[in-house]
Structure 1
Amino acid sequence: LYPSCLKFINRVLKKTMFTRNGALVLLLVAVLFRLGSCERLRDRSYYKLPQAAFSACVRRFNGTHQAGCSSSLGGNVGRLIFADTAAELDGLSRDDTADAVLAVPAELFALQAAKLHGLPGGLQGLLVLYSESERDFTFDFAAKTGVNISEDSACPNDRLSAYRGSRGGSCSGPQASPAWNAAGTSAALLDWSFPVALVTKSEQIFTLKNCTQRESSLRHCAIELRTPMHGAASSVTCLRRPQYTSLISALTSISQLMHFCGPMGDLSLVWTASSTAMPTNTVRAPASVMLILARLDSFSMFASNSPASGTLTPAIAVLLAVANALASSSNGTTGRDVAIVFVNGDSWDYIGSQRLVHDLHGNQLLGESGQPARINASHVHSIIELGELSNLESMDQLAAYTDPSVYRVVNSTVDSHVKSLGLKSDALISDRKLPPASTQTFLRPPGSKESAPLQPVPALLLTDHKRDQGFRNRNYNSFADLRPTPSGVVQTLATLADRIATLASQFLTNSSAAKVDDNLLKAYVDCLQGDATCQHAISGANVTKSWLDKVYAATNSINGLIGAYVYEYQSRFLPNQGGNHLRYLTYLLLSNATGDIVPGVTKRSDCLALNTANDTVSAGLPVFYDLTSVSGASNNVSGVCLRLSLTALPAVSPIDSSDYNAWSGSGDFSTWTESQWETPTVRLFMRPTRSWGAAHLLFGVAVLLLSLQFVLGAKHGLEANFPVSVAP
């Protein structure tokens, strides 16, 4: 069982053959100790793919069904086969896929996701090959392969859109545009009957292909996918299961309930421009707060490979630049405020915006100790949301969507905003339903009847896709959403950011003092896309590349690409750690964009002491922000202490986890949950063919029969030669 130790054992035995008993015992103990570090033959038979080389598809649930993938508890094993083209895939028979694991290139998966999902014949697993040469900001997957891939549906989040029910949804019925996400395959929303993994390293892809070239008539290349998920069926079933395990706990010595799944969610970030002038106990005036929104999350069926440079990066960069411009100008005392909101979780039926609206209408948004003054629904003056902007090469391409029924009531405010933004009249689209966006949730708050009119809140959605055009990002919500932001687009983003900052400044102080730093905006874009020039986005600090490396390491970046996936919500989440990695980086940038340096405080311990009274980091209190070490810094390290006015708020469904009827999906809130899972593994090995395995079995049976015959014959001979006498 330990072939790597045979030479060592042989050497020891030669030395101990003629030694005294005491020395022999000591050396035998040494042999046993050495055996503990030896490699087992079983382990030598497998090649285990490194964790960094692949990402497994995980299981998720909503109120009615399950989506995603899972292996059996012991793992799925099958012969490794390849299909590089559609013709090869069409040529696979049921016998070919039976007891097999199929490997396909990412382009074929994008084109044939539905067919791969329905492959017959007992397929044991699927590998999607997507090497790092294709996962780079210089590589535009859709442009260079001619293939579009979106793992979301053609009409994202339609189940809980503002137009659900009698209004026909966002993509159908009167005043609807065609499918917004034409490249949508719904791959991440399907229930796959076998495990799926994305292999992302060229070395491991070469190893997989080389393995099949070593096959012979006696053995073939096999692979084991072990990605078991603990949850099953639906959110209701999964959340209810711990009740049944409580009976087992009562009858056994197991004291801890099993955990199968939990609500998906993270943290949303809110910064208010007038936080100093409007402390916690301030009572806001009606229609005194302008909300400016951008999304923070994306998804893929492969949780750890969910970048969103095309979908999210431009909007986040613009909003960061606007926040910095407003923070750098005078706040004034007009009684008005601007709230910069980064909404998290909205890829999953608007988790984050639903929670914000729920708190708005419940008079629970902000207002806690150390936070800015409370905001409720009556305080909202207007909403501006930044949607997809990755293809905005000129301001003439910008589209401003507003709901037709709402526009008829509040057209004067909407028209004023459009004029302040310097848009042409044809840029305003007021005769079409809104595209999928967080703004929809604000127009139709939870609890309102389907037939009730939408809330008359002046709301604009700014995007780069015109009337009836659909999303221009053809890799929306997918593992391939890595589109670089061209320099021409960055220049347009700077213009847009400056106009939004001017509009917000005029609303806030009746002046246009806020000006956007164009270089800073470019730095934000570079930083969010993993470029080392991220250091220029951190003002007033000597940020080194080693610090940036730690940032990207802490955010689980992939070749410097920041993931934007929302995992199961944890109440212990802090804004500077855990959960959505893009939110983590955005928090760091927003802290530097809006925070005030505390004079004379340079040590971590002194800065943390300022939090003692309320003992919280997420409530917008003075917090230590260390520019030389992201995590694990000692209390004596020197850095910058920032007094922050930004707040991290829970972005999780308001439904009580024990209210199973509400989790059935019949209500107004997102019911997405995520399964617990163990560390996934992918192992490669050579397996005998069935004929060769049968031959081994028959040989073993023959040896067993011969051995039995020999033993029985020897026993008979002994009894004949040495009869056993029985005492009288």
Structure 2
Amino acid sequence: CLGNSVQRKIYIPLNRTAPCVRLLNATHQIGCQSSLSGDTGVIHVVEKEEDLEWALSTGPNPPYMILLDGNLFSRKILMQLRGNSRISGLAVAAASDPPPEGFSPGLQCPNDGFGVYSEDYGPQFAHCNGSVWNPGGSGISYEDFPFPIFLLEDANETQVIKECFRAHNLGAAPRFPLCAMQLQARMHAAASTVSCMRRSSLQSAFSINPEIVCDPLLDYNVWSSLHPINSSGKVEPGQRLVLAATRVDSHSFFWNVAPGAEGAVGSFVALLAAAAALQAAPGAQRLPRNVLFVFFQGETFDYIGSSRLVFDMEQEKFPLRLENVGAFLELGQVSLRNDSVLWMHTDPVSRQNASVDFQVKTLLAALHNSSSGSGVSLREPEFSQPLPPSSFQRFLRSRSIPGVVLSDHRAAFHNRYFQSIYDTAENIGMRYPEGLSPEQRLRFVTGTAQALAQVATLLARALFSLAGGGAGSESIRADPETVTQLLYGFLIDSNNSWFQSVIKPDQNGILGPFPQHYVAVSSPTNTTQLLQAVLGNLTGTRLNLSREECQNPGKTPGMQPELFEYWWVQGPRDGNSSARIPGCVRSGARLSPALSPAFELRRWDSREFSTWTESRWKEIRARIFLVASRDMELLTLFLGFLVLLLSLLLTFLINSKAALLFGPPPGPSGY
């Protein structure tokens, strides 16, 4: 306790930070790391580019720990800092407003090499040749930095650091003590996934307490169907269904800071709303063809979720086979439409086959017919343009399936903040009037929600038509209030009254403000659990069952647990009281693994499947304190040694003269 008390007097901890961590694939390591005990440096605040010169060359007290204004966080600055021995680390103050020119730390050609286009398939489109999808991408998320980089998420903590800097570090020759910062984020893994997985495997084989140094990125895909599917059986080979898909995860430069509003959330919210609208459509349960809804996890990292589902279909570890997929519709980025336009992307290579081309034209016609009265205008890019980065590409690698990817961009992304900390609710135009309570904001229908409800309406009508529905699709309409609640829950605060009502009683820990959508290494993630709960609530049926009957469906005749999932949910509050009205929900919302086949096959050097892993670490910590000069530290050390030597000498002298100083020792009789 005394030691902790002294520590609190010396250090000011920074509690709201997000580190850059190390990720690895088959050939590289990316990200950041600190030395074993953390890196320390004198704080230097950089609010304009000219301020860097002091730390890089002229400052008298290196190494320096840079506090960088968020608007200056760029590839140019990071490359200047990397490799300079005068720099020990970097703390980035999050900008209150996103850079107007845009900021994307991702690649210009996302998931390059893991889509369908290669030297063997559409070589003219390989490596984004002629189609740079993310032209603003700086690629810094995929660089390796030898020093720690932290994001400061709390403006108050940033202000404390600046005040410490102004009080102690300003001036041409500032006097000691100086304000310093320590950043600790030591990563255990190094080199590549091959190295770290081999090391972990050897440890597991020969050690009682193995030291695992890295873990595969993994989670679960969420899927459901219009008509129930036996999860332990197999769909008949001749049965064809329509697969509607989108991605769930996002990424940024900093660990677990992945809002992904345009990159993922807008799309999966629209697909959720479309699933709900189709389920409620008159005659939907009598449609001759089934519709499968799939929400893929890990797509940011070389299509983890979609490649695993294709693998499981091929290995017959999933109720469907690839030949059961008769058509594929995917929602890409759809939240930033210009003039209500969505673009219908198709694969020009597979369409060279007359049969596939005919089926694709049927898909396009169904979409065009469904757009009437939906508020969405549909257009097609040039026939020679390839597909944008999409899960559909992983299916095309195995089979020529007719499919369409819907997006708000014809060529380059409209999203200037792709895979960044600024891809937030504000990026897709979510605005609320002043003075609304959280409950009022939850139910306030924003313009963004109305626009995405139009996309969901279009998709639901098209799926109804493709599943064999005739007249009546014009009555299908997605609910804008449902969409606005979904956007609020997945982007602003998942701890709201609606999400509280659809989860199980033991899931309250997954709720909280500012949800993040990083795929991570522990599963299922909060996003996946919430997505399954919400999908089940929107497409399922509430049953009049007791808690015991709901949680043990196999014991009750006629429950068919192989066709349905049964959830005992908290339910809404009972009026103004804190008590809830729980109940049982039956749905077809299920999970399937989203772990790359490379780890199932132990092919850690695979170039066919994703091999991304995340390094383990012992402690993540950031703190500031006052540091004395080197001369003062040496003087203190010297005085400490001197006191130690004098103490030893004094102890020796007293011990040698003990009889003289304290008298002879007592005899056997005690006298």
Q: TM-score range by the shorter chain?
A: 0.7 to 0.9
Corresponding letter in the other structure for 2:465: Q
CA contact under 8 A between 1:315 and 1:387: conserved in structure 2? yes
Alpha-carbon shift at residue 385 of structure 1 (Å) = 0.7
CA contact under 8 A between 1:324 and 1:516: conserved in structure 2? yes
Verify: 1:688 aligned to 2:631, yes or no.
Answer: no
3-state SS in 1 of match to 2:409: coil
Tell me the distance in 1 between the aligned counterparts of 2:395 and 2:327.
10
The aligned counterpart of 2:436 is none
Provide, for residues 199-253 of structure 1, a one-character-per-residue CA deviation record: whole Å limited to 9, x for no partner: 100111111112222325121112221222222221111111134436873xxxx
Alpha-carbon shift at residue 642 of structure 1 (Å) = 0.5
Verify: 1:464 aligned to 2:408, yes or no.
Answer: yes
Q: Of 26, 29, 50, which residue of structure 2 is paired with 1:63?
A: 26
1:186-335 matched pairs, under 5 angstroms:
186-215=139-168, 217-245=175-203, 249=207, 255-275=208-228, 281=233, 283-284=235-236, 286=238, 288-329=240-281, 330-335=283-288
The aligned counterpart of 1:528 is 490
Corresponding letter in the other structure for 2:484: K
The aligned counterpart of 1:93 is 56
3-state SS in 1 of match to 2:484: helix
The aligned counterpart of 1:665 is 606
Q: Of 111, 123, 146, which residue of structure 1 is paired with 2:87?
A: 123
Alpha-carbon shift at residue 649 of structure 1 (Å) = 0.5
CA contact under 8 A between 2:119 and 2:126: conserved in structure 1? no
Alpha-carbon shift at residue 671 of structure 1 (Å) = 0.5
**Higher mean C-alpha deviation, range 668-677 or range 604-613:** 604-613
Verify: 1:417 aligned to 2:363, yes or no.
Answer: yes
Q: Of 558, 583, 593, which residue of structure 2 is paired with 1:650?
A: 593
Provide, for residues 71-96 of structure 1, a one-character-per-residue CA deviation record: whole Å limited to 9, x for no partner: 22322222222212222225532564
CA contact under 8 A between 1:154 and 1:182: conserved in structure 2? yes
Alpha-carbon shift at residue 478 of structure 1 (Å) = 1.4
3-state SS in 2 of match to 1:158: coil
Provide, for residues 658-717 of structure 1, a one-character-per-residue CA deviation record: whole Å limited to 9, x for no partner: 73xx21133x11101112223411121111012332343455566678889999999999
Corresponding letter in the other structure for 2:23: R
Q: Of 496, 499, 502, which residue of structure 1 is paired with 2:458?
A: 499
CA contact under 8 A between 1:68 and 1:188: conserved in structure 2? yes
CA contact under 8 A between 1:155 and 1:170: conserved in structure 2? no
Tell me the distance in 2 between the aligned counterparts of 1:40 and 1:222.
20
The aligned counterpart of 2:439 is none
Alpha-carbon shift at residue 556 of structure 1 (Å) = 6.1
The aligned counterpart of 2:415 is 473
The aligned counterpart of 2:330 is 385
Tell me the distance in 1 between the aligned counterparts of 2:552 and 2:49.
63
CA contact under 8 A between 2:103 and 2:136: conserved in structure 1? yes
Corresponding letter in the other structure for 2:269: A
Tell me the distance in 2 between the aligned counterparts of 1:720 and 1:292.
96
The aligned counterpart of 1:354 is 307
CA contact under 8 A between 1:152 and 1:185: conserved in structure 2? yes
3-state SS in 1 of match to 2:604: helix
Give the TM-score of the pair, scaled to structure 2.
Answer: 0.83
3-state SS in 2 of match to 1:311: helix
CA contact under 8 A between 1:176 and 1:432: conserved in structure 2? no
The aligned counterpart of 2:13 is 48
CA contact under 8 A between 1:314 and 1:390: conserved in structure 2? yes
Verify: 1:151 aligned to 2:151, yes or no.
Answer: no
Provide, for residues 125-145 of structure 1, a one-character-per-residue CA deviation record: whole Å limited to 9, x for no partner: 2111116xx3xxxx5x2xxx3
Q: Of 116, 125, 146, which residue of structure 2 is paired with 1:162?
A: 116
3-state SS in 1 of match to 2:189: coil
Tell me the distance in 1 between the aligned counterparts of 2:495 and 2:364.
34
Tell me the distance in 2 between the aligned counterparts of 1:247 and 1:317.
44
Alpha-carbon shift at residue 307 of structure 1 (Å) = 0.9
Provide, for residues 625-656 of structure 1, a one-character-per-residue CA deviation record: whole Å limited to 9, x for no partner: 22359xxxxxx974121111111100111234
Tell me the distance in 1 between the aligned counterparts of 2:515 and 2:506.
10
**Higher mean C-alpha deviation, range 436-445 or range 702-711:** 702-711
Tell me the distance in 1 between the aligned counterparts of 2:259 and 2:594.
20
Tell me the distance in 2 between the aligned counterparts of 1:552 and 1:40.
36
Tell me the distance in 1 between the aligned counterparts of 2:315 and 2:493.
42
Tell me the distance in 2 between the aligned counterparts of 1:266 and 1:676.
17
**Higher mean C-alpha deviation, range 507-516 or range 675-684:** 507-516
**Higher mean C-alpha deviation, range 503-512 or range 263-272:** 503-512
Alpha-carbon shift at residue 553 of structure 1 (Å) = 7.0
Q: 1:188 to 1:647 in 2, by over 3 A?
A: same
Tell me the distance in 1 between the aligned counterparts of 2:649 and 2:71.
60
CA contact under 8 A between 1:170 and 1:436: conserved in structure 2? no
CA contact under 8 A between 2:540 and 2:585: conserved in structure 1? yes
Tell me the distance in 1 between the aligned counterparts of 2:420 and 2:511.
17
The aligned counterpart of 1:337 is 290
The aligned counterpart of 2:130 is 177
Tell me the distance in 1 between the aligned counterparts of 2:453 and 2:263.
17
CA contact under 8 A between 1:218 and 1:692: conserved in structure 2? no
Corresponding letter in the other structure for 1:690: R
**Higher mean C-alpha deviation, range 297-306 or range 604-613:** 604-613
Q: 1:81 to 1:91 in 2, by over 3 A?
A: closer
Tell me the distance in 2 between the aligned counterparts of 1:617 and 1:102.
57
CA contact under 8 A between 1:556 and 1:563: conserved in structure 2? no
3-state SS in 1 of match to 2:417: coil
Give the TM-score of the pair, scaled to structure 1.
Answer: 0.77
Q: 1:334 to 1:464 in 2, by over 3 A?
A: closer
Q: Of 582, 596, 611, which residue of structure 1 is paired with 2:527?
A: 582
Q: 1:689 to 1:152 in 2, by over 3 A?
A: same
Q: 1:270 to 1:243 in 2, by over 3 A?
A: closer
The aligned counterpart of 2:397 is 444
3-state SS in 2 of match to 1:63: coil
Tell me the distance in 1 between the aligned counterparts of 2:338 and 2:568.
39
CA contact under 8 A between 1:158 and 1:169: conserved in structure 2? no
Tell me the distance in 2 between the aligned counterparts of 1:473 and 1:245.
44
Corresponding letter in the other structure for 1:154: Q
How well do the aligned residues superpose, as a CA RMSD in angstroms?
3.7
Tell me the distance in 2 between the aligned counterparts of 1:519 and 1:706.
79
Corresponding letter in the other structure for 2:10: S
The aligned counterpart of 2:536 is 591
Alpha-carbon shift at residue 320 of structure 1 (Å) = 0.8
Alpha-carbon shift at residue 617 of structure 1 (Å) = 9.7
3-state SS in 2 of match to 1:275: coil
1:480-559 matched pairs, under 5 angstroms:
480-484=422-426, 485-486=428-429, 487-511=446-470, 512-513=472-473, 514-530=476-492, 554-555=509-510, 557=512
The aligned counterpart of 1:24 is none
Tell me the distance in 1 between the aligned counterparts of 2:494 and 2:520.
27
Tell me the distance in 1 between the aligned counterparts of 2:565 and 2:623.
48
Q: 1:240 to 1:39 in 2, by over 3 A?
A: closer
3-state SS in 1 of match to 2:597: coil
The aligned counterpart of 2:434 is none
CA contact under 8 A between 2:55 and 2:64: conserved in structure 1? no
Corresponding letter in the other structure for 2:118: R
Verify: 1:622 aligned to 2:562, yes or no.
Answer: no
3-state SS in 2 of match to 1:681: strand
Tell me the distance in 2 between the aligned counterparts of 1:617 and 1:211.
62
Tell me the distance in 1 between the aligned counterparts of 2:380 and 2:110.
23
The aligned counterpart of 1:102 is 66
Q: Which runs of 5+ in 1 are unaligned?
A: 1-35, 250-254, 366-373, 446-454, 630-635, 722-728
- The number of residue pairs the alignment matches comes to 621
Q: 1:556 to 1:618 in 2, by over 3 A?
A: farther
Q: Which runs of 5+ in 2 are unaligned?
A: 169-173, 372-376, 430-445, 574-578, 662-671
1:702-721 matched pairs, under 5 angstroms:
none
3-state SS in 2 of match to 1:40: helix
3-state SS in 2 of match to 1:403: coil
CA contact under 8 A between 2:494 and 2:515: conserved in structure 1? no
Tell me the distance in 2 between the aligned counterparts of 1:437 and 1:170.
18
Corresponding letter in the other structure for 2:593: P
3-state SS in 2 of match to 1:78: strand
**Higher mean C-alpha deviation, range 317-326 or range 604-613:** 604-613
Tell me the distance in 2 between the aligned counterparts of 1:693 and 1:201.
32
Alpha-carbon shift at residue 405 of structure 1 (Å) = 1.4
